[in-house]
Amino acid sequence: MPTDSTTVRFNERVAAMQPSATLAMKSRATEMRRQGHPVVALSAGEPDFDTPSEISEAGIEAIRTGYTHYTENPGAMELREAISRKLARDNNLQYSPSQILCSNGAKQSIALATTVLCDEGDEVLIPAPYWVSYPEMARFAGAEPRVVSASVENEYRLTPEQLDEALTDRTRLFILCSPSNPTGSVYTRDELEALADVFRQYPDVYILADEIYEYVLFDDAEHVSFATLDGMYDRTITVNGFSKGFAMTGWRLGYLAAPEAVTKACAKVQGQFTSAPCSVSQKAGVAAMTMDMSPVYRMVEAFRQRRDYMVERLRQIDGIRCPLPKGAFYLYPDVSEFFGMKTPDGNRIEDSSDLCFYLLDEEHVALVPGTAFGEPKGLRISYASSMEDLKTAMDRIQRGLANLSA
């Protein structure tokens, strides 16, 4: 007998979990395209470049040679050794392979670390704007997400004063994302040192450093791994992966590096849930760790050109404030000046969600509202699209905003 989903009793944490707003917007844009609407989607956090050929060839060779069986649960030793060398080379971090866990994407690594470190009554401190999954992962672990808002005036970077005020005796984990999704902001070394000074007063707090965008940097920005700061190594879970820097989103391969006790606990959970990531992806990951980086640099340069174009266009629109991001491939403009305005149909724009759906329905541009990222005055724009699409999208956005009335 069919059962209506509303009558099924679910785990209360699953029932309370919110769906990913970025995936929801991508799904809606895809459906509109199927219906024949010429939607330009600037909502997904995915490079529009193919995986570099040497990485793909390594995966193909793995299939040809029968490397299609289970590997060790933490990941093949070959890959963990390659990651260990990469962390020493690029991040000045010394991690043995036993401290490294390979997973089915960096997202899984974050979920594992949150699950093993947090318990009922704990707080997870999350700067906003934040990636949409952080609070949901905290809640699923039984912890309470505690959000502290960074301002557009400070280019969405948290100050040490804000951090000190937000930390409590219940804080178990702090999530740091630099370069940031959704803002593209990058903390300087001095800013990270100032945050570390605060953490030295709270020795029981762990820091989860999400460094998935480390290679996507612009101008004079420097990537600093938080675990390199004095006293932070034994308290930091460094999370990274292959999706963004190597355009390997579909390969689903990430990793974490942490104190060995934390890594072993994460591996225990992974062993019961999924076991190791795909063997073929792991061979491709080894190639990524050792390849010539020229394809990555070319991709990043293309992102920089797109960033410059998009920021220039957005700043030409009265009412928009848009910081110049130093990393990732997102913009997070403040669009609150348009709240309270009316659409040509007479509907009132109450918040960024209303604004995004207006631009999707009327101008066929898919963006993600800031309500999903904990900062409702803004919205996220991904410029991981062709310049042609970006120009079309900006023409439509500019027209749509001009059609709003006070």
Residue 40 counted as domain residue: yes
Instruction: Give me the mean pLDDT over the 358-383 stretch.
Output: 95
Q: Which of 227, 256, 290 is the last residue of a domain?
A: 290
**75 close to 283: Cβ distance less than 8 angstroms:** no
* Same structural domain, 321 and 354: yes
Instruction: Give me the mean pLDDT over the 132-149 stretch.
Output: 96
Residue 174 counted as domain residue: yes
Total number of domains in the chain: 2
- Give the residue among 135, 134, 177, 137 at the shortest CA–CA distance from 157: 177
* Same structural domain, 129 and 109: yes
* Same structural domain, 212 and 286: yes
Pairwise CA distance, residues 109 & 112, whole Å: 5
Which residue range forms the structural domain that includes residue 199? Answer: 68-290
Model confidence at 6, in pLDDT bands (50, 70, 90)?
low
* Same structural domain, 150 and 222: yes
Q: Which of 268, 290, 312 is the last residue of a domain?
A: 290
Pairwise CA distance, residues 352 & 334, whole Å: 9
pLDDT, tens digit, for every residue of 34-43?
888 889 999 8
Residue 63 counted as domain residue: no
pLDDT at 283 over 50: yes
pLDDT, tens digit, for every residue of 29-62?
888 888 888 899 998 889 999 999 999 999 999 9
* Same structural domain, 79 and 150: yes
Question: Residue 280's CB: how many other CB atoms inside 10 A?
Answer: 18
Peptide bond preceding 135 in cis form (omega within 30 of 0): no
* Same structural domain, 43 and 73: no
Residue 343, domain CATH: 3.90.1150.10
Residue 245 counted as domain residue: yes
Instruction: Give me the mean pLDDT over the 292-301 stretch.
Output: 98
- Determine what percent of the chain is predicted with pLDDT higher than 70: 98
DSSP state of 20: P
Instruction: Give me the mean pLDDT over the 7-14 stretch.
Output: 84
pLDDT at 170 over 70: yes
**Within a 13 Å sphere around the CA of 219, how many CA atoms are in the beta-carbon half?**
12
Instruction: Give me the mean pLDDT over the 211-240 stretch.
Output: 98
Residue 274, domain CATH: 3.40.640.10
What pTM did the predictor assign?
A: 0.94
* Same structural domain, 305 and 286: no
- Give the residue among 320, 302, 319, 298 at the shortest CA–CA distance from 311: 320
* Same structural domain, 281 and 300: no
Pairwise CA distance, residues 167 & 393, whole Å: 41
Residue 60 counted as domain residue: no
The pLDDT of residue 91 is: 98
**382 close to 43: Cβ distance less than 8 angstroms:** yes
Model confidence at 4, in pLDDT bands (50, 70, 90)?
low
* Same structural domain, 12 and 158: no
* Same structural domain, 223 and 272: yes
pLDDT at 2 over 60: no
The pLDDT of residue 1 is: 46
Pairwise CA distance, residues 138 & 148, whole Å: 15
* Same structural domain, 166 and 263: yes
Pairwise CA distance, residues 350 & 213, whole Å: 32
* Same structural domain, 222 and 267: yes
Residue 249 counted as domain residue: yes
Which one-letter amino acid corresponds to residue 66? G
Q: Which of 233, 258, 290 is the last residue of a domain?
A: 290
Q: b/e for 76-104, b at 16 or more Cβ within 10 A? A: beebbbbbbebbeeebebebebebbbbbb
Residue 87 counted as domain residue: yes
> Between 385 and 17, where is the model more confident?
385
Residue 326 counted as domain residue: yes
pLDDT, tens digit, for every residue of 77-126?
999 999 999 999 999 999 999 999 999 999 999 999 999 999 999 999 99
Model confidence at 405, in pLDDT bands (50, 70, 90)?
very high
- Write the DSSP string, 191-247: HHHHHHHHHTT-TT-EEEEE-TTTT-B-TT-----GGGSTTTGGGEEEEEESTTTTT
- Please give the structure tokens belonging to residue 75: 């990941």
